[in-house]
Amino acid sequence: MAETLQELQDTYETLSDQIDLLSAACHTQEQRDALTASYLLAQHNYLGARNKIFKENDAELERLTQELRKANKDIKRLVEQLGNISKVIDGITMAVNIGSSIASKLIPA
């Protein structure tokens, strides 16, 4: 499922492109730590998924992919607004956790 891999890539690339801006917007070390942890997990999810097999016609995987697509759109909107860094980090964490759920369903190649 190429679209699933694309969504994992979108999460990772969005964070990669915006990590400096997001880090600078953090008010506390706890926020920076949460952001860094989410970034590293997004990287792990995407890079790990590139060498795995996606089960075709998996309803759960399709549902998770749709959730991740929505979460990725939310992240992009939140980053553009960047009004409340806590909300941005929460959105990122949610997207990355969905990505982890997807990654856990993949079959090693």
pTM (predicted TM-score): 0.90
User: What single DSSP character describes residue 106?
Assistant: P
Q: Where are the domains of the chain?
A: 2-108
Per-residue model confidence as pLDDT tens digits over 45-98: 999 999 888 887 889 999 999 999 999 999 999 988 888 999 999 999 999 999
How much is the pLDDT for 76? 93
**95 close to 36: Cβ distance less than 8 angstroms:** no
Average pLDDT value for the chain: 93
pLDDT at 57: 83
So what's the pLDDT on residue 30? 97
**CA angle (34 as vertex; 36, 14 as ends), nearest 5:** 50
Q: How many CB atoms lie within 10 A of CB 108?
A: 7
By the 8 A CB rule, do 23 and 32 touch?
yes
Question: For residue 61, what are the contacts with CB-CB under 8 A and spacing of at least 6?
Answer: 1, 4, 54, 55, 102, 105
Q: What is the pLDDT of residue 51?
A: 86
pLDDT attached to residue 44: 97
